[in-house]
Chains A and B, each alone.
Chain A
């Protein structure tokens, strides 16, 4: 049986390569969407959780997981769970650092009230503190649009959630 050749940890390791389709510098494991892998008699079940209920990347992620495991002859099913709800606390510190280098201001804190969270966002380009919100919704529902009054560049902010 092929599946016995891989342990749960091996599979998690493999899946750690898959990038978030919308923020390709971070992986689905670093952002906290990859929750767990359960070994089954015929292969494995991969547990993922969406950042937002309408996240259009989930279909792509599911396909990426299946095709990667397929290349390794691992029989896999993907299950989407909503509990516990994903929060921006699930994003690793390393991933936040990568996001910043990529030009997206990482979430400041989570479990916050919306107005507080939006008050003080530092510019990911120059670190400037004098920034202002242009729109609460950016290119995707998980990001807001800001501009920096110091370097004059626009940037996106990954909203706390």
Chain B
């Protein structure tokens, strides 16, 4: 049985990984947005996520106590050592794919950080309060666009529905709890993920209804993020993300 600091380390690392990997995806939109304002919005959200990743990596490094920095954790691990949810690493696809990923993820994050605010760990609770303020804007942004695309033209409607359908199988693992989760839930330190599922699904259903989109019914769910088992997409992303740190370790501006 891992000690409490090891559990909190893993937990903080996972939260950071989710933010870090998703922020990298969103930053790929930089200069590729469908319109200037949206280019700015997506990269601003990416920046919020980078900030979140940094704070949770810093906390993880502190808990580990081996003198690592946030950068060491962000850039110097291999694919199997990342614990982000698979949803975060899904490619940007078309704009509707990105918006669908943002919707599914940010609504989950909303309920997750709402709950983490009550953690008995003071740092988790404080960072959750801070993060939640930002997540509310991300969620509003994603919901607005979901409605605009879903209740838009025939083509945008079709693409929005396709996007939600394609990503649905990666939403199941958001609500899983492994030994780390269970141990932290028992001590009032972590979030009871399974209990968030119905809140999340109702919320998503309401947005989709307003957008004239269907809630998917497929029940096959792919999992693996918590174990470091990823889709083919993560490795490709890391190849680009870590290139500089690998080629020029400790490079300075």
Q: Which 10 A-B pairs have the closest CB atoms?
A: A54-B51, A53-B51, A83-B126, A135-B37, A137-B41, A137-B44, A54-B47, A141-B44, A85-B130, A114-B140
How many A-B contacts at CB < 8 Å in the complex?
71
B51 touches A52 (CB 8 A): yes
The interface size bin for chain A is: 20 to 34
User: Complex: how many Å from CA A145 to CA B36?
Assistant: 12
Q: How far is the CB of A52 from chain B (nearest CB, A)?
A: 6
Indicate whether A56 reaches chain B with its CB closer than 8 angstroms.
yes
Residues of A within 8 A of B (CB): 50, 52-56, 82-87, 113-115, 134-141, 145, 159, 161
Q: Give Cα A141–Cα B136 distance, bound, in whole angstroms.
A: 13
Provide the residues of chain B in CB contact with A52, threshold 8 Å.
47-48, 51, 134
* Contact between B140 and A136, CB atoms less than 8 A apart: yes
Told that A53-B54, A114-B140, A134-B37 touch, could you supply 11 new A-B pairs with CB distance under 8 A? A50-B51, A53-B55, A56-B47, A82-B126, A83-B130, A85-B129, A86-B130, A113-B136, A137-B41, A137-B44, A141-B44
Given A53-B131, A53-B134, A137 and B141 contact (CB-CB distance below 8 Å): yes
Q: Is the CB of B141 within 8 A of A115?
A: no
B48, B54, B133 pick with most chain A CB within 10 angstroms:
B133
Which chain B residue shows the least CB distance to A88?
B133
> Could you mark each residue 77-91 of chain B with 1 if its beta carbon is under 8 Å from any beta carbon of chain A, else 0?
000000000000000
